[in-house]
Amino acid sequence: MSSQNTHTNTLPRATTYTAVPKPLGFMIPIFKLPLILYRARLGWIFGHRFMLLTHIGRRSGIVRRTVLAFLEYDPKTREIKAMSAWSASDWFLNLQANPAVQVETGFTRYAPVQRTLTPEEIATLFVNYRNKHPIFSKIVCRIPGWHADSSYEEFLDLAHTLRGIAFRPKHNE
């Protein structure tokens, strides 16, 4: 990580963000634990912080399941807004080729329609998430090198390097 990406009181904060590198290999088993719990029908433990996304592989055509942390859940509409820190995330690229089959969060499960989030929507999600979860957002933002105390404009700059999707039920289920 360059010194520009490390936040201290003496170094200026970088104003241009680049794509975040994919996680290191040793971290992958940690990221797989939620998938194991969802497969054991215990995904409800995560409440509305994580979702299980069922999608189709863009090249293989195989059904894939990915657990994602997401930034917003609306209990009235059941809309879920998630984003990919890696613009080349397999799940995101798969959704560009084929729509999502199913989403599940807490005790909510449905076949979704999806739409791509704008950078402005992603920046607003960051600001809202930070305000709702100040302690958790400080921890999460440290992982990819983002800054929890960023201004809206800085989040907007970052949002141009990210991809986000909103899911909502296809039908009134």
- Any idea how long the chain is? 173
List per-residue pLDDT tens for the chain, 173 residues long.
433 433 333 333 444 444 455 555 666 666 677 787 888 888 888 888 889 999 999 999 999 999 888 889 999 999 999 988 766 789 999 999 999 999 999 899 999 999 999 999 988 988 888 888 877 777 766 656 577 788 888 888 888 888 889 999 997 65
Q: What is the spatial distance between Cα 165 and Cα 27, in angstroms, rounded to a whole number?
A: 24
Which superfamily is assigned to 23-168 in CATH?
Electron Transport, Fmn-binding Protein; Chain A (2.30.110.10)
**Domain extents for the chain?**
23-168
- In degrees, to the nearest 5, what angle opens at C-alpha 69 toward C-alphas 167 and 43? 90
Angle between helices 134-142 and 119-132 (to 10 degrees): 120
Predicted model pTM: 0.75
